[in-house]
């Protein structure tokens, strides 16, 4: 599959002499065309700095990045990209005027830009505000208008930094639905950074986790869930506290504890042996066992485990 975004040893160092800060450190990344790629990490991990290098806003200290094979920051690479920042702001002009202005900057004729702008405002539920001053929009409305300006020239790659920030739950749902539609129906590549992982996991195909400027995990979302779930089980009995030590001692069990739902959570060495051992343990007293299921790990759970913030 064609690569929409590639990073090879991408590095950004700020400062001089003894005060150097390595914001992004030898980052390697490869993103297929037509996919939605989640880019996540804690605050200060290097996400926004990486995005700025990809769009050509800043130059890397070392390494290279490419957009459909074109060097990041080049005119050809920029032509592929639509970008929406985390904190968008606008000139004191109407929403439609702003979109037309951006469309013309991207090479569209005025009439074409106006038609496209109206379509995008309608698509995002902002058509009633087309003639209103964008500078006075609410934070959520600015976020939607920013997405519209990113799409004004019909780019192949969308790079979105916290696109659902400042939106209410309904607004977040609507924007995420629109992002999914862009990839599925229009075959666009979407590179999205977000802290709202429970919502992000509903639309992403792949995910990259970054920390202290380094990629620590990159995977398809389904493979990631399988990797973290296949050795993880939830057991619920009529008396979990009483059964905890017995389950910890079962063949195949590595560790077991009472989780926040007051159920027994178990990490196992061998899933098959463990399940057989549990079934044998409750033979003749099946009514004591309420639940035995593999744990379906959320992206947030996986992120916390990868970052070492959740004890197994």
DSSP states along 8-63: EEEEEEES-GGG-EEEEEEEEEEEETT-EEEEE--TTSSHHHHHHHHHTSS--SEE
The pLDDT of residue 310 is above 50: no
Output the six-digit token pair for 259.
């989780």
The pLDDT of residue 239 is above 90: yes
Output the six-digit token pair for 205.
């195909």
Residue whose C-alpha is closest to residue 83's, from 56, 45, 101, 58 = 56
Residue whose C-alpha is closest to residue 209's, from 308, 143, 295 = 308
Percent of the chain beyond pLDDT 70?
99
Token pair 């993103």 in the structure block, residue: 31
Q: Which domains does the chain have, with CATH numbers?
A: 3-219 (3.40.50.300), 231-309 (3.30.70)
Residue whose C-alpha is closest to residue 88's, from 97, 98, 96, 79 = 98
Q: How far apart are CA 26 and CA 39, in angstroms?
A: 16
pLDDT of amino acid 308: 74
Q: How far apart are CA 285 and CA 239, in angstroms?
A: 13
Pairing type for strands 214-220 and 232-237 reads: unpaired
Minimum mean pLDDT among 26-35, 59-68, 166-175, 247-256: which range?
Answer: 166-175
Q: What is the pLDDT of residues 263-282, one digit of tens each?
A: 999 989 888 889 999 999 99
pLDDT of amino acid 94: 97
pLDDT of amino acid 309: 53
Prediction pTM value: 0.82
Output the six-digit token pair for 144.
């939607």
Q: What is the pLDDT of residues 166-212, one digit of tens each?
A: 788 888 888 899 999 998 889 999 999 988 888 888 899 999 999 99
- Mean residue pLDDT across the chain: 91
The pLDDT of residue 312 is above 50: no
Q: What is the pLDDT of residues 60-100, one digit of tens each?
A: 999 999 999 999 999 999 999 999 998 998 999 999 999 99
Residue ranges of alpha helices (H) inside the chain are 47-55, 75-80, 95-105, 110-123, 139-151, 169-184, 197-200, 221-229, 240-248, 271-281, 299-306
Q: How far apart are CA 150 and CA 265, in angstroms?
A: 44
């Amino acid at each position: 599959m064609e690569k929409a975004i590639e990073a090879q040893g991408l590095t950004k160092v700020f400062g001089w002499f003894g005060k150097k800060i390595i914001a992004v450190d030898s980052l390697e990344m490869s993103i297929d065309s037509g996919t939605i790629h989640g880019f996540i990490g804690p605050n200060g991990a290097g996400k926004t700095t990486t995005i700025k290098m990809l769009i050509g806003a800043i130059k890397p200290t070392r390494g290279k990045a490419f957009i459909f094979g074109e060097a990041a920051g080049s005119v050809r690479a920029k032509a592929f990209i639509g970008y929406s920042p985390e904190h968008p702001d606008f000139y004191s002009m109407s929403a439609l005027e702003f979109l037309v202005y951006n469309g013309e900057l991207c090479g569209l004729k005025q009439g074409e830009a106006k038609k496209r702008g109206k379509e995008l405002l309608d698509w995002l539920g902002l058509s009633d505000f087309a003639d209103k001053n964008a500078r006075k929009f609410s934070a959520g409305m600015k976020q939607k208008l920013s997405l519209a300006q990113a799409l004004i020239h019909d780019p192949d790659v969308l790079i979105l930094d916290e696109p659902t920030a400042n939106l209410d739950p309904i607004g977040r749902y609507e924007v995420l639905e629109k992002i999914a539609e862009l990839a599925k129906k229009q075959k666009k590549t979407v590179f999205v950074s977000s802290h709202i992982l429970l919502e992000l996991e509903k639309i992403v195909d792949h995910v990259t986790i970054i920390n202290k400027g380094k990629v620590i995990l990159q995977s398809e979302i389904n493979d990631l869930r399988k990797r973290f779930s296949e050795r993880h089980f939830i057991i619920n009995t009529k008396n979990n506290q009483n059964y905890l030590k017995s389950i910890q001692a079962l063949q195949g069990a590595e560790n077991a504890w009472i989780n926040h739902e007051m159920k027994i959570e178990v990490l196992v060495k061998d899933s098959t042996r463990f399940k057989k051992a549990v079934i044998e343990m409750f033979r003749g007293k099946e009514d004591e066992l309420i639940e035995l299921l593999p744990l379906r790990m959320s992206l947030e759970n996986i992120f916390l485990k990868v970052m070492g913030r959740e004890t197994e």
